């Protein structure tokens, strides 16, 4: 059991049958009245974020979210298959459980598969990935306005904005949390 007074960022707990994770918290002691805990909590399964206030003595059941490192092997229709590199167990994950940033993942990349009580609810790709550019327009001499970006298609099919000097067949580093170009990969 955990009390609202023990909340910290990242703590997961059960509330009304839902798994919640504390995104932000603040202990408030007003001049008049009782103290309370003001929080932003995210429903781990649906991803929705709500602001709530709790009595510091309110008790909740701890929720243990399992994070397994698994290798993305292939997709078949709406199912994406992940393999545990220790047991070689194959785990199918429905396309609806994948986040938007999964578009930066290619086969054989290691991801974190998140589950609660055996039910998979999400897949976290690595924070940074190196991908090859398959298609982009050439940058022309004289297009030197500061921070000018052009669209580029990556080997996974995702489209990102890159600086004008980037050419096709170059390998670049992408931040999967924001979907932004970071730098050229050192080769």
Residues 179 and 135 in one domain: yes
Domain end residue (candidates: 27, 45, 62): 62
Domain holding 6: CATH number?
Answer: 2.30.30.30
At residue 157, φ and ψ (nearest 5 deg) are 100, -10
Write down the pTM of the prediction.
Answer: 0.68
Pairwise CA distance, residues 62 & 67, whole Å: 16
Of 113, 105, 94, the closest CA to residue 156 belongs to 105
Domain holding 141: CATH number?
Answer: 2.40.50.140
Residues 11 and 48 in one domain: yes
Pairwise CA distance, residues 160 & 2, whole Å: 42
Residues 49 and 72 in one domain: no
With 0-12 / 13-18 / 19 or more C-beta atoms within 10 angstroms meaning exposed / middle / buried, residue 19 is buried
Residues 20 and 47 in one domain: yes
What is the number of domains present in the chain?
3
Domain end residue (candidates: 96, 124, 152): 124
For residue 97, what pLDDT is reported?
77
pLDDT tens for the chain, 187 residues: list them. 888 888 888 788 988 888 888 888 888 888 888 889 999 988 887 778 899 999 989 899 888 888 889 999 998 888 989 998 888 888 888 887 777 788 888 889 998 888 888 778 778 888 899 999 998 887 666 556 667 788 899 988 889 988 888 888 889 999 888 888 888 887 5
Residues 56 and 71 in one domain: no
Radius of gyration, CA atoms only, the chain: 22
Contacts of 168 (CB under 8 A, 6+ apart): 133, 134, 135, 136
Q: Which range marks the domain in which residue 20 is found?
A: 2-62
Structure token digits, residue 127: 């924070």
């Amino acid at each position: 059991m955990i009390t609202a007074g023990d909340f910290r960022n990242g703590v997961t707990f059960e509330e009304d049958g839902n798994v919640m994770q504390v995104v932000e918290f603040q202990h408030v002691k007003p001049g008049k009245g009782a103290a309370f805990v003001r929080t932003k909590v995210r429903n781990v399964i649906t991803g929705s974020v709500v602001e709530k206030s709790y009595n510091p003595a309110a008790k909740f059941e701890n929720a243990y979210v399992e994070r397994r490192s698994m290798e993305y092997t292939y997709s078949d229709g709406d199912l994406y298959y992940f393999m545990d590199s220790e047991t070689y167990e194959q785990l199918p994950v429905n396309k609806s459980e994948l986040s938007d940033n999964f578009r930066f993942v290619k086969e054989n990349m290691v991801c974190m598969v998140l589950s609660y009580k055996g039910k998979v609810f999400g897949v976290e790709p690595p924070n940074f990935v190196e991908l090859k550019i398959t298609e982009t327009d050439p940058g022309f001499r004289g297009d030197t306005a500061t921070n000018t970006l052009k669209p580029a298609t990556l080997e996974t099919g995702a489209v990102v904005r890159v600086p004008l000097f980037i050419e096709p067949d170059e390998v670049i580093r992408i931040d999967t949390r924001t979907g932004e170009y970071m730098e050229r990969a050192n080769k």
